[in-house]
Structure 1
Amino acid sequence: MTASPSTPGTPLRYFVERMDCADCARTVQSALTRLPGVGDPRVNFTTQTLSLTLDETQLPREKLEHTLRSLGYPPVLENAPAAPAAQTLRYFVNNMDCADCANKVQGVVSRLPGAGEPKVSFTTQTLSLTLDETKTSRAQLEQTLRSIGYPPDLQEDAQATPGTPSAPRPARVELPWHQTSKGRNVLLTGALFALAFVLSLVAPSFAFYAYAAATLIGVWPLLLKAVASTRLGEPFTINTLISVAAIGAVAIGEAAEGALVVFLFAIGELLENVAAGRARAGIQALAALAPKTALLLSGTQTQEVPVESLQVGQLVRVQPGGRVPADGTITEGNSNLDDSPVTGESVPVHKSTGDQVYAGSINTDGVLTVRVDRGASDNTIARIIHLVEEAESSKAPTARFLDRFSRWYTPAAMAVAFLFAVIPPLLFGQDWNEWIYKGVALLLIACPCALVLSVPAAVTSGISAGARQGLLIKGGAALETIGSVNTIAFDKTGTLTENKPQVTDVIPLSASEQDVVTLAAAVETGSAHPLAKAILDRAKGQTILTAENARAIPGKAVTATVGGRTLAVGSPRYAQELAPVAPDVLGRIEVLEHQGKTVVVLLDGAAPLGLLAIRDEPRAHAKAAIAKLTALGVRSVMLTGDNARTGHAIAGDLGLDVEAELMPEDKLRRIAELKRSGKVAMVGDGINDAPALAQSDVGIAMGGGTDVALETADAALLRHSVMGVSDLVQLSRAVMTNIRQNVTFALGLKAIFLVTTLLGITGLWPAILSDTGATVLVTANALRLLRFRPS
């Protein structure tokens, strides 16, 4: 090979022939690290590539290449592309329909050079990643997945950024069990076992050979996957254990049991696949809720268009009986909408102009005109599906522990099985066949499938069940934590209350009642604060002057110049800071605040012109929700920036503790203090709640809240009901109970069969039945969560 001149520290990349196994890669790596001038050598036997920097003043490139050839690995220099070829890909992965499959795919793909942030979901059977094709080509990635038994199909939105919602696709049709790869495997291994059984009756002398052939033919696909996984850095898989056990059974003359082991394993995988399909069906049904077409308004005419083509700001018509095609806002009409498919709301909700609607909701009567607020890839349904996918990559602490545990448990179990097979015969003169038989049985008992599956199956089912109830949870970690919180802190406005305050009293002091209303409305013009909206609603139909130089003093007041006067609408505390307020005025304020009303003062400079009392009624089920949390052993506290009297009036009615007159930084401080005595959740809906949502152990956003709150929170309530908070706690506790049951099933069955195997009571087929049975039992138990209904 002729080398061209190279400068010191030149980056080089080679394709290395015959470097196609881990041992080859270690040989090359070890040899290169000893050579002078070679920097940062990186080898990959999957892609058979070598990358390094070379200082040719110390080592000529010809000598480097000669060294590789002498080791038996001829190198071919690759030309580096002019620019990186990183791209984002999303695949549907066939056969990746269980947690163990997803873990295997995640482990293998994460080892490929250039594969960034792989995210897998066995519920939706998807793989999302970024791929630098200068390191691993798309063809190599797809071939790697096929080699371990998971053929990928590139999805149409291949360039969508991983981690962002994508428009729901038509659900893939679930094939009948006998048409799936696992179903065909059951039929093949079952037919081989039956044929061997018949031959054993007809020609007993050939029975062993018949069963051996059935075993080896049945285990061959598993052996290929085991070899491929081992080459890709995942040696301790279920395929490895079953392959070793089946071949070992034939080697010691127990071919009949080996064939039965392969057949039972195939049945177990099929049953697990069928059970997991039920969880997928729920998500696929959710994706099918969104209509495929919409009636786009163009002037007075309507045109039927695909939902994916809708743009934010366009108007669509929703006829009675039709489904809302996109998340949006009603601009004309009123109707009852059945939100139950999306939010879990039990009865239709009456909505009119200005109200928000969800894609997939059913319009029961009136004709509606809706402005599109979110595209198909960002609507509520797409977000729910995305959250379910993300939930599997955001693992619960228990799942992370079990993953770490299984990494050393499986190889340790294989080592123990090997020791049991050889030590008694070697040291104590025991029968080789007997103890090898027991060692093979221990291998089967060691399979960690049920244990590894116990957490993700429960978490995925729990999150899917929550989504059906309008409870969106952003991952297993959040789901696990919610049920263990000691204290839940609530914001008041928009969370415990309806966030639709109304002016109940106008008390003029040195201006007329009409002037108090119109001047206060002028100051508040343009503000989105709920109290400002209440004042503006009260002033509707009246002439409002133009305000200038408007600015907000956070937590205190809004000021503006109106008709040459510097006016402010602020809290009584702010008015007191400017100048002493007359005792009779303070008395009136106190009476109104004892009634649970928020009082604001209209000020001209420091002189009060009048008082406006505003009340925001508690949500319908807030009191019941607080009582339910108390019954669950969770303390509730209200953190509000409102005055103490208003806070105590509302808190007293609802039955929870209160801390009032808090600035946003005060809420952060109180959350930190509450965390010292246990885990804390925060429930809020506004921008000012976002820091507290992030500070708490679990942040919960109300569904009508701001995007900032929804993005910061760990969970969100689509229903505008505080009852969703107690539902979240119940769901979390149900999931954790389910996980404990699953772990008990998985470990308990293994412990029982471990003892019975060592005592010689049970053999190979009960051992595989223990793992298969535990896996099916764990999956079926987790699927019970799909029927979760809060009490």
Structure 2
Amino acid sequence: MDCASCVAKVEGAVKRLPGVSDVAVNLMAERLTLRLEPGQTDPAAVERTISAIGYTPRPLPATAAAKVAPHAANDQASHDHGDEDHDHAGHDHGHGGAFGHSHADHDDPADATKPWYATGKARLVWLLGALVLGAYALSLALPARLTYPLFLAATLVALVPFGRRAFALARAGTPFSIETLMVTAAIGASIIGAAEEAAVVVLLFALGELLENVAAGRARAGIKALATLMPRTALRVRADGSTEGVPSDRLSVGELVLVRPGDRVPCDGTIEEGQSALDESPVTGESVPVSRGPGEAVVAGSINADGALRVRVTRAAADNTIARIIRMVEEATASRAPTQRFIERFSNWWTPGAMIVSLLVILVPPFLLGWDWWTSVYRGLAILLIACPCALVISVPAAMASGLSAGARRGLLIKGGAALEEIGAAKVVALDKTGTLTEGRPRVTDILPARGMAETDLLALAAGVEQGSSHPLAKAVMVMAESRGIATPPVSDQAAVPGKGVTATVNGRRVSVGSPSHATEAGADLGGLVAAITRLENEGKTAIVVLADGAVAGVLALRDEPRGDAAAGVAALARLGVRSVMLTGDNARTGAAIARDLGLDVKAELLPHDKLREIGALRSAGSVVMVGDGINDAPALAAASVGVAMGGGTDVALETADAAVLKDRVTGVAELVGLSRSTMANVRTNVAIAVGLKAVFLVTTLIGVTGLWPAIMADTGATVLVTLNALRLLAWKPAA
């Protein structure tokens, strides 16, 4: 299959069968899913219908079918048209309604392993080329009456497969396919004595179909290349500690695998033993290797740089990161963007309109303009070849598929063409604070010991009290103490004062860690630290006071700091003309401080339903993209024009969102906008090429400048051009 009209034709043929519903064809995955009512159409009849229009359906394995459409479970017949690049069983290009554009017989499935120039489709081109060139060579030495039959023979050789295809399509409900138009034009040209041009027409048609098929295969290969990120084998660790090589797709959850330096990680898992730097760029697009150690997660497809790792499998092969990316991209390519739906509706009127023009060109000019019948029939036949809008219909999905593939390879996952189109039109990007603009974990930013107290002693007291606590602020204090090599002193009598602080006995001293108000209530004199506490809180930091035996030992300040690229990400959006606003449930002072540092607007102290209200208000002024990572962000992600989940976010956010930034960087949001705009620019170029060529050749045909073979080039040539132009998006890179 090589264009969206293939999808329309197969869907149209299958929908005519009784008891068939929920029909969906995925172009890039070459997969058909549908629902069958029991006792109606037999699944074998579905396969016969598909075969009749030139495909070779192949049932999916039960597990794959369940993944594709779990809602159809036992009633579904799923067919895969093969995993190969471009040399497949026959297909056609329907354009909706009763009019379509289909291609001639495809190669034998065995051709899938052959290079494009050795396939059955290519052999037909070579045969026709030899016949046409041979006839022209002989025409230089022989009279026309002897060479004319050679051109006629070349025409008839091509008309056999094309005619058979046209007949099958007519029976399937598409009488006005491109085969029908081309066969009619070729037969008509032969009858009026233009067999030479008829032979060139069928040759160019076969050549254009071959080139289009190869180009579509290249586009599909961009997605299939993601599968090569997975290693074929893994080293599974036996109970006795030895290893054995097993296919990576047979790893089960809970098994232990060994990942040697230089190996690709064969599964999603958690490190049990070892420390190493992992290159995750093949999966997330993040170019800098990240350090990973025991207890940390690793993703399938990443490359282990230096140390040996023992990894516990946490996801089966069918559900690992690579499999989910491939599935998401395949499903995304099946989603039609608004522009694509408009083009498909428009094409439904284009083809019958062009055919009416063709008929009028044949019948009217002999009476009104004095044309002879040979001229009017010849020009009418040429317009028949211009009638099919294949290039126009493929112009959008080809660009969308390439854009989605390019994004996936850079860690930008988009769940459909509609989302890809909408992102670039955004006027405002709303971003959650915690875990999106910030790292999602507070850290100690300031240490202010009281007079006579050293920083290390202050940290030791605080860490002693906080040890064992799961509170984020307590963890931040412990991390800071560990980073400075401070040993945690023994403690006793730990107790929590709900909402205020924690107390414990540290080295015989009664120590408490809590809020400034708690310290004041305890009767401590903050003295000159009051001004410092006020300053820290105005900077959006949380100040905690450490008391030792009732006296102030010092103040620690903590804040969930912005990501390293947050300011750059907001600035990149501003350069694209997109306004950024932060939506946070944090207090207004903290929100204002973070927003001031990053250079964006802020709405603070928002509960989940408040975020929904703010998204609604922003949408009233234009398209809005919401970026978040938490469960509480899921409603806002769903309510926005496009929801974007940060890659480190929860599964709920990833499932609710329309797109995801796997590399977990704020700059990825601007990259999504840039990718969308580049894709839509490519779409506009494609539409201009398709419509422009059709219009030019329509005019030149009517005035007699061009004839039959340039007319067929207007169809197949334009199709190849827009496909090749779309392929340029596979090399897309974010702006520096």
The offset of 1:690, in angstroms, is 0.8
- Residue matched to 1:461: 402
Question: Is 1:741 matched with 2:682?
Answer: no
In the TM superposition, 1:231-630 aligns within 5 A as: 231-299=171-239, 300-425=241-366, 430-504=371-445, 525=470, 534=476, 590-598=534-542, 613-630=557-574
In the TM superposition, 1:595-744 aligns within 5 A as: 595-598=539-542, 613-744=557-688
CA contact (8 A) 1:170 1:288 kept: no
The offset of 1:259, in angstroms, is 1.4
The offset of 1:102, in angstroms, is 3.2
Identity within the alignment, %: 57
Instruction: Give the counterpart of 1:119 among 15, 24, 27.
Output: 24
The offset of 1:515, in angstroms, is 9.2
Amino acid at match of 1:223: G
Tell me how far apart the structure 2 counterparts of residues 630 and 544 of structure 1 sit (CA, whole Å). Answer: 53
Tell me how far apart the structure 2 counterparts of residues 611 and 700 of structure 1 sit (CA, whole Å). Answer: 38
CA contact (8 A) 1:246 1:258 kept: yes
The offset of 1:681, in angstroms, is 0.3
- Residue matched to 2:101: none
The offset of 1:407, in angstroms, is 1.6
Amino acid at match of 1:180: T
Amino acid at match of 1:718: L
Structure 1 residues 146 and 195: CA distance shift in structure 2, 3 A: farther
CA contact (8 A) 1:471 1:716 kept: yes
In the TM superposition, 1:40-119 aligns within 5 A as: 96-119=1-24
CA contact (8 A) 1:598 1:643 kept: no
After superposing the two structures, state which structure 1 stretch, 171-180 or 714-723, moved more: 171-180
Tell me how far apart the structure 1 counterparts of residues 478 and 18 of structure 2 sit (CA, whole Å). Answer: 60
Tell me how far apart the structure 2 counterparts of residues 544 and 446 of structure 1 sit (CA, whole Å). Answer: 87
CA contact (8 A) 1:518 1:544 kept: no
Tell me how far apart the structure 1 counterparts of residues 282 and 83 of structure 2 sit (CA, whole Å). Answer: 17
CA contact (8 A) 2:333 2:416 kept: yes
CA contact (8 A) 2:331 2:415 kept: yes
- Residue matched to 1:79: none
Tell me how far apart the structure 2 counterparts of residues 447 and 394 of structure 1 sit (CA, whole Å). Answer: 23
- Residue matched to 1:143: 48
DSSP 3-state at the match of 2:291: strand
CA contact (8 A) 2:235 2:245 kept: yes
DSSP 3-state at the match of 1:242: helix
The offset of 1:415, in angstroms, is 1.9
Instruction: Give the counterpart of 2:709 among 735, 756, 765.
Output: 765
Tell me how far apart the structure 2 counterparts of residues 234 and 571 of structure 1 sit (CA, whole Å). Answer: 76
Structure 1 residues 747 and 601: CA distance shift in structure 2, 3 A: farther
- Residue matched to 2:508: none
Question: Is 1:152 matched with 2:57?
Answer: yes
Q: Deviations over 1:67-122 (max 9, x none)?
A: xxxxxxxxxxxxxxxxxxxxxxxxxxxxx133333332233234333444333333
The offset of 1:257, in angstroms, is 1.1
CA contact (8 A) 1:120 1:392 kept: no
Amino acid at match of 2:9: K
Structure 1 residues 180 and 654: CA distance shift in structure 2, 3 A: same
After superposing the two structures, state which structure 1 stretch, 242-251 or 500-509, moved more: 500-509
CA contact (8 A) 1:171 1:287 kept: no
DSSP 3-state at the match of 2:66: coil
Instruction: Give the counterpart of 1:177 among 113, 116, 126.
Output: 116
- Residue matched to 1:781: 725
The offset of 1:665, in angstroms, is 1.3
DSSP 3-state at the match of 1:291: coil
Q: Deviations over 1:261-298 (max 9, x none)?
A: 11101111111122222222222322122012222223
Q: Which runs of 5+ in 2 are unaligned?
A: 72-77, 86-111, 451-457, 483-487, 505-512, 547-553
Amino acid at match of 1:192: L
Structure 1 residues 722 and 752: CA distance shift in structure 2, 3 A: same
Question: Is 1:189 matched with 2:133?
Answer: no
The offset of 1:644, in angstroms, is 1.8
CA contact (8 A) 2:462 2:477 kept: no
Amino acid at match of 2:275: N
Tell me how far apart the structure 2 counterparts of residues 440 and 112 of structure 1 sit (CA, whole Å). Answer: 34
The offset of 1:492, in angstroms, is 1.2
Tell me how far apart the structure 2 counterparts of residues 747 and 466 of structure 1 sit (CA, whole Å). Answer: 28
TM-score when normalising by structure 1: 0.77
Structure 1 residues 319 and 132: CA distance shift in structure 2, 3 A: farther
The offset of 1:345, in angstroms, is 1.7
Amino acid at match of 2:254: G
- Residue matched to 1:70: none
The offset of 1:754, in angstroms, is 1.0
After superposing the two structures, state which structure 1 stretch, 439-448 or 734-743, moved more: 439-448
Structure 1 residues 199 and 692: CA distance shift in structure 2, 3 A: same
Structure 1 residues 331 and 454: CA distance shift in structure 2, 3 A: same
Tell me how far apart the structure 1 counterparts of residues 631 and 492 of structure 2 sit (CA, whole Å). Answer: 28
CA contact (8 A) 1:98 1:273 kept: no
Tell me how far apart the structure 1 counterparts of residues 39 and 191 of structure 2 sit (CA, whole Å). Answer: 45
- Residue matched to 1:553: none
The offset of 1:589, in angstroms, is 5.5
The offset of 1:222, in angstroms, is 2.0
Structure 1 residues 109 and 462: CA distance shift in structure 2, 3 A: same
Tell me how far apart the structure 1 counterparts of residues 270 and 161 of structure 2 sit (CA, whole Å). Answer: 55
Tell me how far apart the structure 2 counterparts of residues 619 and 594 of structure 1 sit (CA, whole Å). Answer: 20
After superposing the two structures, state which structure 1 stretch, 743-752 or 109-118, moved more: 109-118
Q: Which structure is richer in relative contact order (CA contacts within 8 A, separation 6 or more)?
A: 2
Tell me how far apart the structure 2 counterparts of residues 338 and 596 of structure 1 sit (CA, whole Å). Answer: 35
DSSP 3-state at the match of 2:196: helix
The offset of 1:223, in angstroms, is 2.2
Structure 1 residues 348 and 432: CA distance shift in structure 2, 3 A: same
- Residue matched to 2:100: none
Tell me how far apart the structure 2 counterparts of residues 546 and 280 of structure 1 sit (CA, whole Å). Answer: 62
Amino acid at match of 1:477: A
CA contact (8 A) 1:521 1:539 kept: no
Tell me how far apart the structure 1 counterparts of residues 133 and 126 of structure 2 sit (CA, whole Å). Answer: 10
Tell me how far apart the structure 1 counterparts of residues 627 and 157 of structure 2 sit (CA, whole Å). Answer: 58
Tell me how far apart the structure 1 counterparts of residues 251 and 27 of structure 2 sit (CA, whole Å). Answer: 30
